[in-house]
Structure 1
Amino acid sequence: MMDIKQLKMSTFDDALNHITDNIVLGIGSGSTIELLVPKIAEKVRAEKLNIIGVCTSTKTAFIAKEHGLKIVDINDVDHVDIAIDGADEVDSNLNLIKGGGGALFREKVIDTMAEKFIVIVDETKEVAHLGDKFKLPVEVDKFNWLLLARKIEQDQPVIAMRRMADDVPFITDNGNYILDLELKERLDPYQLHEYLIHLIGVLETGYFLDTTEAVIFGTQDGVKIKQRS
């Protein structure tokens, strides 16, 4: 029986098949992508590919550069050919919750900019509905974060908690806080996203809706690929 790390790594060959010459590649963030980056670098070297990478977090960019990949700032490119990223939850419509690593804003910029967005996950990330197992991350300004948390709890059936890391508030690469919303009941992701995104002080939500072209699942029964219909 494979462990979670092995399930994640079982998706890599199918993900790497999407990487071809002369592309701008969006490289996501999180534990799965950190394992994938060295494999991308190996493919680029072995096949002498001309690839420019843009990364969804400073940590991913650091790792990618350490492995010799050419990484540029997102403002230095005008398009992204393909983005490969992980996810915290995937529903039957291939909608996602992302942001467990706190990079949801930059992930959304790059992943939605991509012509093709591919997600790689292990089978534990598949859920009946978004918010089933994982809290919804929301990136918010430091200035009014507590007012936002109180308003969201007042208006929606959720518990809003500021994310902490080692007993201090977690700070995103953009210098903001993350509110993790625990959904008390099944909520429509489209409606909740629309409500949240119009609150002053909310930068972005961890809902990734209608953006994913395919999800590659690592399962105990082998790799399974689901395409958006």
Structure 2
Amino acid sequence: MTAEMDASKLMKQQVGKAAADRVQSSSIVGLGTGSTTAYAIQFLGDRLKSGELKDIIGVPTSFQAEVLAREYGIPLTTLDVIDRIDIAIDGADEVDPQLNLIKGGGAAHTREKVVDTLAAEFIVVVDSSKLVDKLGSTFKVPVEVIPMAYAPVMRAIEKLGGKPELRMGVKKAGPVVTDQGNMVIDVKFDSIDNPAELEKTLNNIPGVLENGLFVNTTNLVLVGEIKDGQPSVREIVKG
């Protein structure tokens, strides 16, 4: 198992580095959330420290990303101060052949969607296990909901044919609470035939803040793979 884990870690490092290498000096960079993106943040910090990269500013999508960025010496800003984001790097839980995504395994999808859709270029970093033929195959759709509305929202989702469950904490009692102080409902759909339509429908339910379907937000996915025991990075470009 350790050899496999090492290979998986190497693969995440490679793909994180490949994304960090695409960032240019004087860029405003959206910093995503999750284990693969964490390596991208680390490599951005390394490039800054070595002087290879200058004057970048990060916009974190979560408290986790903020802590990591500070640890690696990346200066941070907020959306009320800047008027653009040049490039965003973020992971995904599923990627379909049209490069539509499901995100939100780390419950940060609302802030991620704000930052990633504002970016002129949004690069998705994943390992090959995240590639699916159809969204919803392996991962539920996370829906962020204000606490008072979680029960009616779950009933509304059931009417749409989804099977909702409130996401519970792993090492704490009670539900997961997002950085915005809300709850997350994970929804299993038997088949997501039209992700764009479902994204809108879910967001129109009163009490829903945002959901984890990201449709038409990226043109580039970097996929980490293991070939003959060696990590490699493959590009999938839309169109």
TM-score bracket, shorter-length normalisation: over 0.9
Say whether the 8 Å CA contact 1:157–1:185 is kept in structure 2: no
122-131 or 4-13, which deviates more: 4-13
Q: How many residues align?
A: 228
Q: Secondary structure at the match of 1:120?
A: strand
* C-alpha separation in 2, matches of 1:174 and 1:13: 30
Equivalent AA in structure 1 for residue 145 of structure 2: V
Q: CA deviation at 1:32?
A: 1.2
Q: CA deviation at 1:183?
A: 1.3
**Correspondence list, 1:30-41, <5 A:** 30-41=34-45
Say whether the 8 Å CA contact 2:156–2:205 is kept in structure 1: no
* C-alpha separation in 1, matches of 2:196 and 2:237: 21
Say whether the 8 Å CA contact 1:85–1:120 is kept in structure 2: yes
Equivalent AA in structure 1 for residue 237 of structure 2: Q
* C-alpha separation in 2, matches of 1:24 and 1:225: 23
Identity percentage of aligned residues:
38
Q: CA deviation at 1:77?
A: 1.0
Say whether the 8 Å CA contact 1:135–1:180 is kept in structure 2: yes
- Partner of residue 226, structure 1: 236
* C-alpha separation in 2, matches of 1:27 and 1:186: 28
- Partner of residue 121, structure 2: 116
Q: Secondary structure at the match of 1:87?
A: coil
Change (3 A) 1:12 1:31: closer
Q: CA deviation at 1:189?
A: 1.0
The equivalent position to 1:143 in structure 2, one of 136, 142, 148, is: 148
Say whether the 8 Å CA contact 1:15–1:216 is kept in structure 2: yes
Equivalent AA in structure 2 for residue 116 of structure 1: E
Q: CA deviation at 1:14?
A: 2.1
* C-alpha separation in 1, matches of 2:42 and 2:208: 34
- Cα RMSD (Å): 1.3
Equivalent AA in structure 1 for residue 74 of structure 2: L
The equivalent position to 1:26 in structure 2, one of 21, 24, 30, is: 30
Q: Could you list the runs of 4 or more consecutive aligned residues of structure 1 that deviate by over 6 angstroms after TM superposition? A: none
Say whether the 8 Å CA contact 2:89–2:122 is kept in structure 1: yes
Equivalent AA in structure 1 for residue 29 of structure 2: L
Q: Secondary structure at the match of 2:69?
A: helix
TM-score, scaled relative to structure 2: 0.91
The equivalent position to 1:203 in structure 2, one of 209, 212, 216, is: 209
Q: Secondary structure at the match of 1:130?
A: coil
Equivalent AA in structure 1 for residue 87 of structure 2: I
* C-alpha separation in 1, matches of 2:17 and 2:78: 27
Structure 2 unmatched runs, 5+: none
Say whether the 8 Å CA contact 2:123–2:222 is kept in structure 1: yes
Equivalent AA in structure 2 for residue 136 of structure 1: V
